[in-house]
């Protein structure tokens, strides 16, 4: 019997953890079966995916279903059944686990649905189908049609001892080279937030720590670009989290590790350890969601914003860990004005990334079951995103969507840090700044065309020049610093003043030939010739409060070949300001 495990990932660099669990469990617990795994993306043509799946000549097709791929998956399955009616189609995953009867009634081509954890249920189903030795009525979490055509559902069952699940990281891991690997060291969550599917399962279960270490070492050695832990609250057990973090720092090479953590649980001992983690190795995603206490209470989220603020401020001071903070718009009792406060509270924590998300009323979540209580209107199709409720209108949601777009372009890109530090001294409310900027965009219909990276700087300058209209020359230089620091070799924006030395080439040559300068600012080029130094180092003259300053920009590459730009203002002893002129 040939079994194909398939899914559509949201991006090419992603890998599906669930399918790998299922594959290794099928190989462990079934006999006389060949198991194949194929991953596609939601950007692939569905007919091309269908052709690829058909060519596997499988007997059983099992698909992993999520909000981002369910519609395409159902389309593929419907067509597969048309061209291969004898095939058996099995669906699993969060998007089919909570309304399995309804989904099977609406889609006659589906033979079985497995709700919840499938590592034991799918092998049992395969055994039942292969030799009829097992009664499918005993398979946990299975939705099926009986001999009379009636749909029946068996209650799902949790795997209490996670060590019973074989590791999916024991075979060839070359598929993870330069890709994102998803990993879990635990299942469940100690919290019960009403919008999260983790709240449907009580308690937390842990994989054996020695197995976790072994798996992580294999992923590191395989050259995974990033390992993204899907633990809902990775640091809910302090001792476990510290042990894993210490193991990673002692064994890592170039892999980046991403964790979802609860910042209010981090104490001084953990902070002391984290302060010593090599720069760029860890990424922390912290779900603040809102600072509205009434909203937090209603969704059952227990947190302490004062403690979060203290922890994030300390981590940002060290600046060795990438900090990603989350906000959710559309929570109960959070109106537009209240959300402005939540936005500003979180924005002022100065994280590397601030993600403004919108509430999704997921199947199986308590908040979806109680949607009438708060007057929720949400999209009927995935991702079931909020349109409005009793506290925030659709018009206000639209405004927040536009602010989110500006946030992604101008805050989360990290390309405009100096400009926004300057703007934040003018605007007491960052929320109002992004609201005004989004209004400027949309009144000029900029959302209707493709905007280049360089043009985003032009738009920000035009916004300042037309809306703020104060100290324009000073802002121009601040924005120019951001431009040259993030755009090595790109064309110059038209509004930028160009300052040069009278003999620019000789002035730069003299600086780069100065061994004292090279030792102080770019010692890695000490053995390089002048031509190599010219390729890797640029200089830009900027005028700050009437004074000329020389900014050095150096291009290098990390171990994966990614470009890195370093910048630094150099000591005035290495150049003569009186030789500077304005280019016409």
pLDDT of residue 491: 60
pLDDT of residue 511: 93
C-alpha distances (whole Å) from 464 to each of 101, 350, 419, 469, 470 are: 56, 22, 10, 6, 8
Question: Range with the lowest mean pLDDT among 142-156, 221-235, 412-426, 493-507?
Answer: 493-507
Where does the pLDDT of residue 563 fall: very low under 50, low under 70, confident under 90, or very high at 90 and above? Answer: low
pLDDT tens figures, 394-417: 999 999 999 999 999 999 999 999
What is the DSSP code (8-state) at residue 492? Answer: P
Question: Range with the lowest mean pLDDT among 233-242, 329-338, 507-516?
Answer: 507-516
Residue at token pair 């992603």: 14
Question: Can you tell me the mean pLDDT for 148-158?
Answer: 93
Nearest to 286 by CA among 297, 300, 301, 276: 301
Bigger pLDDT: 515 vs 546: 515
Question: Can you tell me the mean pLDDT for 421-450?
Answer: 93
Nearest to 349 by CA among 329, 324, 321: 324
Looking at the DSSP bridge assignments, the partners of residue 147 are none
CB atoms under 10 Å from CB of 36, counted, come to: 14
Cβ neighbours of residue 581 closer than 8 Å, sequence gap 6 or more = 499, 500, 501, 502
pLDDT tens figures, 12-39: 888 899 999 999 999 999 988 999 999 9
- Rounded to whole angstroms, the Cα distance separating 390 from 398 reads 16
- Rounded to whole angstroms, the Cα distance separating 347 from 263 reads 16
pLDDT of residue 206: 97
pLDDT of residue 448: 82
pLDDT tens figures, 294-303: 999 999 998 8
Question: Can you tell me the mean pLDDT for 250-255?
Answer: 96
Using the CB atoms, write b or e for 171-208: b if 16+ within 10 Å: eebeebeebbbbbbbbbbbbbbbbbbbbbbbeebebbe
Question: Range with the lowest mean pLDDT among 152-161, 217-226, 308-317, 567-576?
Answer: 567-576
- What percent of the chain has a predicted confidence (pLDDT) above 70? 97
Residue 371, pLDDT > 80, answer yes
Q: In 275-380, which residue ranges form alpha helices assigned H by DSSP?
A: 293-299, 305-318, 336-347, 366-369
Residue 584, pLDDT > 70, answer no
Where does the pLDDT of residue 502 fall: very low under 50, low under 70, confident under 90, or very high at 90 and above? Answer: confident
Task: Specify whether domain 2-153 bears CATH 3.40.50.2300.
Answer: yes
pLDDT of residue 547: 87
Question: Can you tell me the mean pLDDT for 450-464?
Answer: 91
Contact between 90 and 61 (Cβ < 8 Å): yes
- Rounded to whole angstroms, the Cα distance separating 88 from 98 reads 21
Using the CB atoms, write b or e for 57-86: b if 16+ within 10 Å: ebbbbbbbbbbbbbbbbbebbebbbeebee
Q: pTM here?
A: 0.90
- Choices 3.80.30.20, 3.30.43.10, 3.30.450.40, 3.40.50.800: CATH for 171-384: 3.80.30.20
Per-residue HEC secondary structure of 62-127 comes to EEECCCCCHHHHHHHHHHHHHHCCCCEEEEECHHHHCCHHHHHHHCCCCCEEECCCCCCHHHHHHH
Residue at token pair 């949601």: 397
Cβ neighbours of residue 388 closer than 8 Å, sequence gap 6 or more = 375, 376, 377, 394, 396, 397
The yes-or-no answer to whether 2-153 and 171-384 have a common fold is: no
Contact between 580 and 541 (Cβ < 8 Å): yes
pLDDT of residue 38: 96
- Break the chain into its structural domains and give their ranges: 2-153, 171-384, 393-490, 499-582
Residue 559, pLDDT > 70, answer no
Average pLDDT of the chain, as a whole number: 93
């Amino acid at each position: 019997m040939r079994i194909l495990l398939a899914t559509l990932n949201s991006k090419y660099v992603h890998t599906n953890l669930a399918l790998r669990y299922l594959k290794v469990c099928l190989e462990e617990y079934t006999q006389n079966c060949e198991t194949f795994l194929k991953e596609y993306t939601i950007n692939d043509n569905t007919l091309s995916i269908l052709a690829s799946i058909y060519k596997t000549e499988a007997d059983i097709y099992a698909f992993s279903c999520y909000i981002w791929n369910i519609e395409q998956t159902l389309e593929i399955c419907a067509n597969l059944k048309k061209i291969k009616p004898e095939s058996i189609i099995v669906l699993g995953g969060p998007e089919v686990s909570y309304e399995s009867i309804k989904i099977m009634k609406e889609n006659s081509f589906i033979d079985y649905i497995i709700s919840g954890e499938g590592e034991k249920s799918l092998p049992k189903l395969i055994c039942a189908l292969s030799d009829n030795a097992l009664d499918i009525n005993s398979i946990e979490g299975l939705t099926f049609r009986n001999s009379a055509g009636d749909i029946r559902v068996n209650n799902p069952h949790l795997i209490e001892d996670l060590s019973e699940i074989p590791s999916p990281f024991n075979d060839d891991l070359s598929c993870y080279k330069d890709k994102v690997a998803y990993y879990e060291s635990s299942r469940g969550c100690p919290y019960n937030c009403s919008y999260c599917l983790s709240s449907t399962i009580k308690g937390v279960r842990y994989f054996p720590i020695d197995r976790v270490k072994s798996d992580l070492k294999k992923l590191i050695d395989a050259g995974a670009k990033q390992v993204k832990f899907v633990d809902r609250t990775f640091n809910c057990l302090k001792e476990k989290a510290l042990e894993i973090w210490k193991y990673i720092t002692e064994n890592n090479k170039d892999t980046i590790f991403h964790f979802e953590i609860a910042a209010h649980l981090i104490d001084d001992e953990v902070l002391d350890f984290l302060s010593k983690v090599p720069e760029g190795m860890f990424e922390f995603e912290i779900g603040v969601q809102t600072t509205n206490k009434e909203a937090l209470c209603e969704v059952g989220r227990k947190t302490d914003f004062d403690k979060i603020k203290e922890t994030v401020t300390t981590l940002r001071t060290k600046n060795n860990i990438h900090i990603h903070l989350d906000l959710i718009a559309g929570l109960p009792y959070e109106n537009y004005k209240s959300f402005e406060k939540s936005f500003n509270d979180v924005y002022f924590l100065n994280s590397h990334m601030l993600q403004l998300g919108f509430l999704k009323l997921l199947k199986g979540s308590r908040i979806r079951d109680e949607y009438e209580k708060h007057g929720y209107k949400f999209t009927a199709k995935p991702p079931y995103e909020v349109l409005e409720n009793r506290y925030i209108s659709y018009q206000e949601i639209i405004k927040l969507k536009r602010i989110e777009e500006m946030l992604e372009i101008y805050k989360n890109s990290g390309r405009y840090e100096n400009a926004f530090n300057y703007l934040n001294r003018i605007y007491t409310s960052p929320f109002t700044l992004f609201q005004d900027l989004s209004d400027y965009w949309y009144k000029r219909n900029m959302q209707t065309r493709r905007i280049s990276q360089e043009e985003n700087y032009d738009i920000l300058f035009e916004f300042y020049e037309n809306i703020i209209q104060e100290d324009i020359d000073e802002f121009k230089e601040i924005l120019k610093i951001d431009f040259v620091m993030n755009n090595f070799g790109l064309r110059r924006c038209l509004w930028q003043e160009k300052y040069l030395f009278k003999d620019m080439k000789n002035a730069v040559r003299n600086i780069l030939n100065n061994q004292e300068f090279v030792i102080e600012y770019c010692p890695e080029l000490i053995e390089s010739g002048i031509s190599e130094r010219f390729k890797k180092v640029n200089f830009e003259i900027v005028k700050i409060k009437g004074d000329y300053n020389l900014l050095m920009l150096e291009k290098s590459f990390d171990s994966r070949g990614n470009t890195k730009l370093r910048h630094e203002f150099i000591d005035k002893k290495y150049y003569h300001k009186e030789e500077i002129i304005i280019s016409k």
